[in-house]
Structure 1
Amino acid sequence: MTGRLHGVGLGPGDPELITLKAARLIAAADVIAYHAGVGKQSNARRIAADLIPEGAIEEELRYPVTTGTTEHPGGYAGAMAEFYEECAARLAVHLEAGRSVVVLAEGDPLFYGSYMYMHDRLADRFETEVVPGVPAFAAATATTAAPLVRQTDVLTILPGTLPEPELARRLADTDGAIIMKLGRTFPKVVSALRQAGRLEGALYVERASMPEERWLPVADVDAASVPYFSLIVVPGDTGQRSSTLSEGPEASTASAGGAAEVLVIGLGPGPDHWITPEVTAALADVQHVVGYAPYVNRVPQREGLTRHASGNTVEVDRARLALDLALKGERVAVVSGGDAGIFGMAAAVFEAAEDEEYADVPVRVLPGLSAVQVVAARAGAPIGGDFAVMSLSDRLKPWALIEKRLRAVAEADLVLAVYNPASRSRTTQVADARRVLLEHRSADTVVIVGRDIGRAEESLTVTTLADLDPMSIDMKCLLIVGASGSRVTAAGQVWTPRSTT
């Protein structure tokens, strides 16, 4: 009979925060295992020292590297993977011999803990139990007596090892936050807090619940003194937070001097290097960014910038929010993917701006690289001649009108670029459009399917109307249906002559 593996959380450092269940299991264990840093004593063992029974076998699992360099051919990741395999093998020997094994974990075993890597390798072979522990951030908030989140506030837990722009963006987009894994990352974290407008009110806590515990405002911390056992608490009700549509323009501080201009900006299809210099300069100057959340997330966070992210079906509400902010003198950018004027936010802003109350708010559209351009470029030159652009979404227009326009395009023998071909709720439109086009086009008409072009997972497929599989198309796709004269080269590239076909 094999032994049982226990991942036991010890809490943040104070032995009195060990749960009764954890204490019972430690006292009854045959084997006590714990991780230790290079040249350091195990903090987990220190916490549980008075509970470890005499005669228990102790397995010290000492890391081969923490923050230093390694000569392992696989680098840090390779060295750590090999280490965890060796540790699991050592513990498996005890488990196969029928011994109960307790792996001590600071805080909670499944919260940034090394026990997880033992669990990954052993849980499918041996009976396993995980005992939760008080996480370090709970001890930190108790130490500062700072309420972290209230009511509908959102709490985000962030590793300080995130890239600075990503850390700043996430801090700007949440209410309360915990930032862990400090040490050498501390200067970068402080910079991210400042960019997100969250530095004021952020609290630094060191060695929470331990005898050496201390806390103070982040702004007052000497970066050279920050140890690994530290974290930052960003209470949800302090500092500048990003707003949502529901908060409305009251969340902004108005500027003097009358109405400001609303910029409507196209961010391109995805990669940062496809954003124009004009757009980059504009985004560096505005005070507010308004848009669909995935597009707002692409705008780098910086000090003085407030983000207003929302869902995908409230375009006019978004536009009104931007116009209200501009009416108060705030500099606002409304962002879209691709080009804002092609099935983007530009039309929605002009629609909202028809209201007389916005008569004094100027609107300017900055172009972006469109999805049809990048798909066409990847394929060759399929829109080298006359072409049409349509959306298959029937959210704002009836399907009967879409069919009428599809027939007109097909009869005119135009190349057709198709946006918004399908979604979770729209599953038949591609098949219906294919049926309509085949009434006027030959079955061997070339079709290009571009998915996630410009992103790591991009794919480009060249097929025909006859072979197009509607079930393979989703919202990440853009289709280009060739004209009768569109051609495919021996290399698989598609082009359409500029002359009349």
Structure 2
Amino acid sequence: MGPGDPELVTLKAARLIGSADVVAYHAGVGRQSNARRIAADLVPEGCVEECLTYPVTTGTTSHPDGYAGALADFYVESADRLAAHLAAGRDVVLLAEGDPLFYGSFMYMHDALAERFETTVVPGVPAFAAATAAIAWPLVRQTDVLTVLPGTLPEPELARRLADTDGAVIMKLGRTFPAVRRALEAAGRLDHAMYVERASTGSERSMPVAEVDPGSVPYFSLVVVNGDSVHGRGRREALPKPATPVGHEGAASGELLVVGLGPGPESWSTPEVRSALDTVDHVVGYAPYVARVPQRAGLRRHASGNGVEIDRARAALDLARAGERVAVVSGGDAGVFGMATAVLEAAEDPAYDGVAVRVLPGLSAVQAVAARAGAPIGGDFAVLSLSDRLKPWPVLERRLRALAEADLVLAVYNPASRSRTEQLVRARELLLEHRPADTVVVVGRDVGRAEESLVVTTLAELDVASVDMKCLLLVGSSSTRVDRAGRVWTPRWVEA
């Protein structure tokens, strides 16, 4: 039905409503349906109307399964009501505000009914399109990225995503508005955010977010963040560029920090690293690692893809040389197959002689996987990356053979990827030439994250096809064992 103005209803939607046997619509408790109001002049006389009234509109309910349970039951009941009409051969039009598949209740009816009955979805003008038109504010241009965000996201996550995008739309305001405003301020986007309420209706109003009274914000409102502000384009004032300072209190001008965030949750980052990240103006790194740094006011983020480590290091060094406070971030420990080496390699350029580089230690993935398994690296062990992107396979093969013959526990980083599927197969074959088939192997995947898994197997039974870049492997020595509780450990001593 579009955002509110009856003239924004599509011709197709108007035609279908006019020929419907049944017109259904959702409504809040004790409230008129906005969708029904928009369609007031289109609903034919004599058709059956089904008002699907939500049992609750906030998180408070006496339902034994809470708010989610109350809504789940409501959607089942609503689907049953519509199914009865459809089974009787009646055409049903379900009115939806905005676009039916954009944060709409229609989706739940579609999930329940589309496989049983012929279904057509008619697109509509979404609310954010009406809002941007109302304020005549371009959201994005050319290769800009637009992000649509629900205001119900946790505040730190909302701030991070706002900092990482060009243009943005924030939906689902109401009670979430104070947190949304704080997130905009933390992301440095508050001065370029407009609030729009009831777009395209007679009660439409808009103003800068900074001027909005939080107590006056209804659910039918949204925030538009202009992508032009990031690039200094358009009529509106660009975001301020960081000044080039002479020095910073508590941090030497020209210093670049290289930090390891740890392999998983925030609690695995060291207090030293968290404290350092609170003092910098710029965070530089591979996009998934930059995304792990909480956003705050004044922090600028520079995320890039894989395989451009030296370019990333030079960009960070350039910022530090200009006097900015900069941190380059890695997962795990930055010195273990991380950005520390790339930064020091780039820093060999005499142009960066005035930049001090300091590497802060972090918890490494091998430590995390080993701890989950027990104590497999309690004795001598070696660490090796199986990626042959930066070193030829014959070198890897020679090192694997030497480590196998030395009977060391072996931690294998980067064991496989979509483009590297044969290296682990060949490595396993080589190891089996020197290690018994029952050698203990630990496969840790996403350790420290919600998807974490840990598999204890043997070298002979290792399922190579199940291993990818999210995994780290620990191949035991001849003395590594698994105890009765399933814990893997390697003795500190070695028999003569």
Same fold flag (TM > 0.5): yes
In 2, the alpha carbon distance for the partners of 1:251 and 1:263 equals 21
Deviates more, 1:485-494 or 1:287-296: 485-494
Deviates more, 1:459-468 or 1:156-165: 459-468
Which of residues 194, 197, 200 in structure 2 aligns to 1:209?
200
Q: Report the secondary structure of 1:396's partner residue.
A: coil
In 2, the alpha carbon distance for the partners of 1:138 and 1:375 equals 48
Q: Deviations over 1:302-340 (max 9, x none)?
A: 100000001011011110010000000000000000000
Native 8 Å contact 2:285 2:304 kept in 1: yes
- Whether 1:341 and 2:331 are equivalent positions in the alignment is no
Native 8 Å contact 1:198 1:240 kept in 2: no
Which of residues 397, 401, 414 in structure 2 aligns to 1:403?
397
In 1, the alpha carbon distance for the partners of 2:207 and 2:195 equals 5
Native 8 Å contact 2:192 2:226 kept in 1: yes
CA offset at residue 253 of structure 1?
Answer: 3.8
RMSD: 1.3
User: What is the aligned partner in structure 2 of residue 142 from structure 1?
Assistant: 133
CA offset at residue 17 of structure 1?
Answer: 0.6
AA in 2 matched with 1:283: L
- Whether 1:126 and 2:117 are equivalent positions in the alignment is yes
Native 8 Å contact 1:380 1:493 kept in 2: yes
AA in 2 matched with 1:53: P
Which of residues 456, 459, 468 in structure 1 aligns to 2:453?
459
User: What is the aligned partner in structure 1 of residue 161 from structure 2?
Assistant: 170
Native 8 Å contact 2:4 2:97 kept in 1: yes
User: What is the aligned partner in structure 1 of residue 92 from structure 2?
Assistant: 101
- Whether 1:474 and 2:468 are equivalent positions in the alignment is yes
AA in 2 matched with 1:288: H
Native 8 Å contact 1:197 1:239 kept in 2: no
Native 8 Å contact 1:200 1:239 kept in 2: no
User: What is the aligned partner in structure 2 of residue 273 from structure 1?
Assistant: 267
CA offset at residue 469 of structure 1?
Answer: 1.6
User: What is the aligned partner in structure 2 of residue 323 from structure 1?
Assistant: 317
In 2, the alpha carbon distance for the partners of 1:252 and 1:151 equals 25
CA offset at residue 485 of structure 1?
Answer: 1.2
Which of residues 49, 64, 67 in structure 2 aligns to 1:58?
49
Which of residues 276, 280, 283 in structure 2 aligns to 1:286?
280
AA in 2 matched with 1:262: L
Q: Report the secondary structure of 2:41's partner residue.
A: helix
In 1, the alpha carbon distance for the partners of 2:406 and 2:305 equals 37
In 1, the alpha carbon distance for the partners of 2:474 and 2:284 equals 30
CA offset at residue 255 of structure 1?
Answer: 2.1
- Whether 1:29 and 2:23 are equivalent positions in the alignment is no
Q: Deviations over 1:78-108 (max 9, x none)?
A: 1101000000000011111111100001111
Q: Deviations over 1:104-148 (max 9, x none)?
A: 011111111111111110000001111111100000001000111
CA offset at residue 500 of structure 1?
Answer: 2.1
Which of residues 222, 227, 240 in structure 2 aligns to 1:236?
227
In 2, the alpha carbon distance for the partners of 1:81 and 1:492 equals 41
In 1, the alpha carbon distance for the partners of 2:151 and 2:220 equals 13
In 2, the alpha carbon distance for the partners of 1:443 and 1:233 equals 61
User: What is the aligned partner in structure 1 of residue 246 from structure 2?
Assistant: 256
Q: Deviations over 1:219-276 (max 9, x none)?
A: 00000000111000101012589xxxxxxxx975422249421100000011111111
AA in 1 matched with 2:366: V
The count of residues paired between Structure 1 and Structure 2 equals 484
In 2, the alpha carbon distance for the partners of 1:493 and 1:15 equals 67
Native 8 Å contact 2:314 2:346 kept in 1: yes
Native 8 Å contact 1:421 1:478 kept in 2: yes
In 2, the alpha carbon distance for the partners of 1:33 and 1:441 equals 69
Instruction: State TM-score, norm by structure 1.
Output: 0.95
In 2, the alpha carbon distance for the partners of 1:65 and 1:472 equals 45
In 1, the alpha carbon distance for the partners of 2:192 and 2:333 equals 39
Which of residues 290, 295, 305 in structure 2 aligns to 1:301?
295
Instruction: State TM-score, norm by structure 2.
Output: 0.96
In 2, the alpha carbon distance for the partners of 1:114 and 1:459 equals 36
In 2, the alpha carbon distance for the partners of 1:402 and 1:113 equals 54
AA in 2 matched with 1:195: A
Q: Report the secondary structure of 2:196's partner residue.
A: strand
Deviates more, 1:413-422 or 1:439-448: 439-448
Native 8 Å contact 2:166 2:230 kept in 1: no
Native 8 Å contact 1:266 1:335 kept in 2: yes
AA in 2 matched with 1:412: A
Q: Report the secondary structure of 2:285's partner residue.
A: strand
Q: Report the secondary structure of 1:50's partner residue.
A: coil
CA offset at residue 459 of structure 1?
Answer: 1.2
Question: Any unmatched runs of 5+ in structure 2?
Answer: 233-239
AA in 2 matched with 1:54: E
In 1, the alpha carbon distance for the partners of 2:490 and 2:96 equals 64
Native 8 Å contact 1:259 1:360 kept in 2: no
In 1, the alpha carbon distance for the partners of 2:403 and 2:241 equals 47
In 1, the alpha carbon distance for the partners of 2:230 and 2:391 equals 43
In 1, the alpha carbon distance for the partners of 2:139 and 2:450 equals 37
Q: Report the secondary structure of 1:449's partner residue.
A: strand
User: What is the aligned partner in structure 1 of residue 416 from structure 2?
Assistant: 422
Give the percent of matched residue pairs that are identical in Structure 1 and Structure 2. Answer: 75
User: What is the aligned partner in structure 1 of residue 67 from structure 2?
Assistant: 76
Native 8 Å contact 1:444 1:465 kept in 2: yes
CA offset at residue 415 of structure 1?
Answer: 0.8
Which of residues 479, 482, 495 in structure 2 aligns to 1:485?
479
In 1, the alpha carbon distance for the partners of 2:83 and 2:52 equals 13
Q: Report the secondary structure of 2:185's partner residue.
A: helix
Q: Report the secondary structure of 2:101's partner residue.
A: coil
CA offset at residue 68 of structure 1?
Answer: 4.7
- Whether 1:379 and 2:339 are equivalent positions in the alignment is no
Deviating runs (4+, > 3 A) in structure 1? 250-253
CA offset at residue 442 of structure 1?
Answer: 1.2
Native 8 Å contact 2:264 2:449 kept in 1: yes
In 2, the alpha carbon distance for the partners of 1:81 and 1:193 equals 33
Native 8 Å contact 1:146 1:235 kept in 2: yes
Q: Deviations over 1:417-459 (max 9, x none)?
A: 1000000100011111111111111111111111111111211
User: What is the aligned partner in structure 1 of residue 8 from structure 2?
Assistant: 17
